[in-house]
Homo-oligomer: A and B are copies of this chain.
Amino acid sequence: MIGIDWGTSSLRAYRLASDGTVLARREVRRGILTIEPGGFPDALQEVAGTWIAEGERRVLLCGMVGSRQGWVEAPYLPCPAGIDEIAAATIPVPFQGAEVRLVPGLTCRDRHAVPEVMRGEETQMIGAAAGLDGTEVTICLPGSHSKWARMERGRVTGFTTHLTGEAFAALAGHTILARMLNPSAPHHARGFARGVARAKQPGGLLHHLFGLRALSLFDEVSEEEAASFLSGLLIGHEVAAALEEGVAPPVILVGAPALTSRYAAALDGFGIPHRAAEPDVAAAGLHMIGERLP
């Protein structure tokens, strides 16, 4: 089969053997925001046409491709939901030459009835929790919109999203902090650790943000470490909030090492065990859901 994690800015395609082995992969900057209206079939043909010509007949898509701005809108599936519910809720997509289906996103409500949504991460989570079906698991997917999910017996029971990555860019680029830091400066481990340590202190995030400015006024934070301090501060506040909601260690971190290593350092700062997920969790999840399609 072919599995595709089709997000906002990029597309990752996998050709998968029947045991889930990744036979081939392609990653292209063809996120849904780059696709013209009506252009999805051509884009799929472009990235997976040769595999289809070679005989693949089943394609499973996950991610923002199932959003209102995507190919076909797949309604959010309410939690708790596991592989079986997700496979049963996939929806067919009209396409010539292969049977294409879309994985739905998930939704849940917190105890105050505020909604949550994800698209694509559910597939990565299913893959990341493979083999842990009997246990309670906490999975963290850092990013622009970081996700923390609780899974139990292979089903996502609830999750929270934090606007951490986007908040970093907005605050680093469009407040007085922009004068004292370079958002793309190399990672500075000490600055990051200082930010995490600050997040553990009282006073609140909005106060801690001004404190970074004040530290720089007194030359108590260097230009080299300021961006990492801000990153540590925001990630630290995210981790603190996630811990308050409750986690089941070790927290499984999913994502690119450049980012998950920061979350690993932050979790270390809070004394919480963690481990990295296996690579290619999206491919694993697509395979696992693909095996249970209707």
Decide if A204 touches B162 in the complex (CB within 8 Å): yes
Selected from B145, B176, B217, B234, the residue in CB contact (under 8 A) with A210 is B145
Provided the pairs A204-B237, A214-B116, A215-B114 are in contact, do residues A173 and B175 lie with their beta carbons within 8 angstroms? Answer: no
Check if A169 is an interface residue, CB within 8 A of chain B. Answer: yes
Q: Give A202-233 as 1s and 0s: 1 = Cβ < 8 Å from B's Cβ atoms.
A: 11111101110111011010000000000000
Q: How many residues of A contact B (CB 8 A)?
A: 46
Decide if B206 touches A237 in the complex (CB within 8 Å): yes
Decide if B160 touches A203 in the complex (CB within 8 Å): yes
Decide if B164 touches A174 in the complex (CB within 8 Å): no
Decide if A241 touches B206 in the complex (CB within 8 Å): yes
A53: chain B residues within 8 A (beta carbon)? none
- For residue A240, which residue of chain B has the nearest CB? B204
Q: Give A100-120 as 1s and 0s: 1 = Cβ < 8 Å from B's Cβ atoms.
A: 000000000010101111000
Check if A166 is an interface residue, CB within 8 A of chain B. Answer: yes
Q: Give A105-138 as 1s and 0s: 1 = Cβ < 8 Å from B's Cβ atoms.
A: 0000010101111000000000000000000000
A238: chain B residues within 8 A (beta carbon)? 204, 206-207
Q: Give the shortest distance, in Å, between A76 (CB) and chain B (any CB).
A: 9
Selected from B114, B167, B217, the residue in CB contact (under 8 A) with A171 is B167
- For residue A144, which residue of chain B has the nearest CB? B176
Number of copies: 2
Cα-based distance from A215 to B162 in the complex (angstroms)? 14
Check if A201 is an interface residue, CB within 8 A of chain B. Answer: yes
Provided the pairs A206-B234, A237-B205, A244-B202 are in contact, do residues A214 and B161 lie with their beta carbons within 8 angstroms? Answer: yes
Decide if B210 touches A163 in the complex (CB within 8 Å): yes
Cα-based distance from A211 to B162 in the complex (angstroms)? 8
Which residue among A161, A205, A206 has the maximum number of chain B CB atoms within 10 Å of its CB?
A206
Selected from B175, B211, B215, the residue in CB contact (under 8 A) with A166 is B175
Selected from B169, B202, B244, the residue in CB contact (under 8 A) with A245 is B202
A205: chain B residues within 8 A (beta carbon)? 204-206, 237
- For residue A176, which residue of chain B has the nearest CB? B166
A213: chain B residues within 8 A (beta carbon)? 163
Q: Give the shortest distance, in Å, between A28 (CB) and chain B (any CB).
A: 23
Cα-based distance from A171 to B175 in the complex (angstroms)? 10
A170: chain B residues within 8 A (beta carbon)? 170-171, 173-175
* Residues of A that sit less than 8 Å from B by CB: 110, 112, 114-117, 145-146, 160-164, 166-167, 169-171, 173-176, 198, 201-207, 209-211, 213-215, 217-218, 220, 234, 237-238, 240-241, 244-245
By Cβ-Cβ distance, the 10 closest A-B pairs, closest first, are: A204-B241, A162-B206, A170-B174, A163-B209, A161-B210, A170-B170, A166-B175, A115-B214, A163-B210, A114-B211
